[in-house]
Amino acid sequence: MQYTPIKTDDDWSSELATRQKKSQNQFGQKPIIIFIFLGILFLGYLIIASDLKTSNISGSIDSIATSFNLQKPFYAVVIDAGSTGSRVLAFTFHKSLINGELILDKELFNEIKPGLSNFADNPNDAIIGLNELINKAKNVIPKSEQSKTPLTMKATAGLRLLRIDKANNLLDECKKFFNTTGFLVNNSSVSIMDGVDEGIFAWFTVNFLFNHLTPDNTKNTVAVLDLGGGSTQVTYTPDNNDIDKFQKNHLHTIYALNNNMTIYTHSHLGMGLMASRKSILIDYNFVNVNDNDDGIIEVRSECINPIIKTQWSYAGKKYLVMGPINATHKLIKAHTYAGIDENVPVVKFDECVKVVKQHIDTIKERPIGLKKHDIYLVSYYFDRAAEAGLIHHSDGGIISLGDFHRATIDACNYPNVEQPFACLDMTFIYILLNDCFGLDSSTKLNLYKKYKGHELSWALGAAFNLLQNDF
């Protein structure tokens, strides 16, 4: 920004120096008066431009203060130890000059695979990957601030599904390592996160980033559905007319950004995408399960295309997954410019749906009034929609559940060795959203992985919770 500095008395000409003292005092007061006048005009402009919304005004003032480096940064590091991988998110915040609330500035995201639960039999090996993630965080946080920066690791459904002794051994090794990192840690820095917290933190992240938690906008919060590898969460603010219909243990009052809100959240353990894939292939599969001499479990499933033969590992076990022996063929229009019909092996969709429903029907409590809300889907919901070409792989987008259903039928009709589980996974997601969660074909689904450069995950909500408890 260019500006003209105010001249001092020494800069004025000799003519001004001969003026009376009274006149000199009046000139000395003018810059102050002008500054105050311009300040009032500027605030008036902010009020008009912001449509009289206090949150927008404070945001504008904070932005100006940030541009002049008047804000003190705060940092937090969160490690998301998921069932399929571990991710580090290092956040930079500052406190608002107006109301003292935390404002998000930047974040670092980095990911490694496999998930922590894969090291259940060799806990020491888990530290190699965690050390890599910690070093990524150290690269963006000043060394002078690291001892004051809280570090936490929350393990999710992958560890919840492990035997307690194996999970505890993993956590103990991680705690020892965390004590050597130089970050601020305590006895609760490493833990298995409750599914309720996972749902609430993800809900907070999405609503915060999309500006639904300001005092002017709290009545417009959105529902957040998070599909992880081992569990799935449904979180939203119930309508006042419906609130008495919910089980009380799934209603929670939270205080977020100076607002008290009652939200519903339910975490369904075992209903994550990978846990469900395993159940659909094994627990509800009556075709052929054969444990061979190599320790690889051979599986044939109605939800897998007959031409597929692929290996898959989950929870320390290896599977050889194939379609049924007796293939069903169908005339399908080819994905070519010629558009001719081809006789290809297909998944018998109705048979696959029967198996998937057996798994999903174990969910006894269904969300009430969910489709009244704007729906935001994150994690594996986004990934599968992007792989199906329904949304841009980085920008995301909005589709209907009907769009997803049609893409599911296509995935089951067209053999795809590069995405061998596309039909199974998408059928599971569709039945979950339609049959279990009560969404219909016209329901709009907002699918995003990032918003304004920030990951849509529970980690941001956890970081806010961490800092607000400490400051």
Spell out the residues 6+ positions from residue 220 whose beta carbon is closer than 8 angstroms to its own: 212
- The reply to whether 26 sits in an annotated binding site is no
Tokens of 77: 């590091």
Please tell me whether residue 291 adopts helix, strand or coil conformation.
Answer: strand
Four-point Cα dihedral 114, 115, 120, 125, nearest 10: 60
Q: Identify whether 111 is a catalytic site residue.
A: no
- Given the structure tokens 């006042």, which residue do they identify? 240
Write phi, then psi, for 128 (nearest 5 degrees): -60, -50
Exactly one of 101, 107, 198, 387 is catalytic; name it: 198
- The reply to whether 229 sits in an annotated binding site is yes
Decide: residue 207, CB within 10 A, 0-12 exposed, 13-18 middle, 19+ buried.
buried
First to last CA, the chain: 34
Residue 159 to residue 179: CA distance in whole angstroms: 21
- The reply to whether 311 sits in an annotated binding site is no
Q: How far is CA 130 from CA 86, 117, 126, 137, 194, in A?
A: 8, 13, 7, 11, 21
- The reply to whether 232 sits in an annotated binding site is yes
- Given the structure tokens 């259940």, which residue do they identify? 120
DSSP letter for each residue of 62-88 = HHHHHHTT-SPEEEEEEEEE-SS-EEE
Tokens of 157: 């459904």
* Residue 43 DSSP class: H
| Identity of residue 450 | K
Write phi, then psi, for 348 (nearest 5 degrees): -75, 95
Identify the CA nearest to 400 among candidates 423, 421, 377. Answer: 377
Tokens of 142: 């000043």
Tokens of 374: 């704007």
Identify the CA nearest to 158 among candidates 272, 250, 319. Answer: 272
Q: How far is CA 51 from CA 43, 45, 96, 216, in A?
A: 12, 10, 20, 11
Q: How far is CA 446 from CA 83, 126, 346, 371, 388, in A?
A: 24, 35, 30, 13, 15
User: What is the β-pairing status of strands 309-314 and 317-322?
Assistant: antiparallel
Q: Give the residue numbers marked as catalytic.
A: 198
Residues annotated within the binding site are 229-233
Residues annotated within the binding site for ATP are 229-233
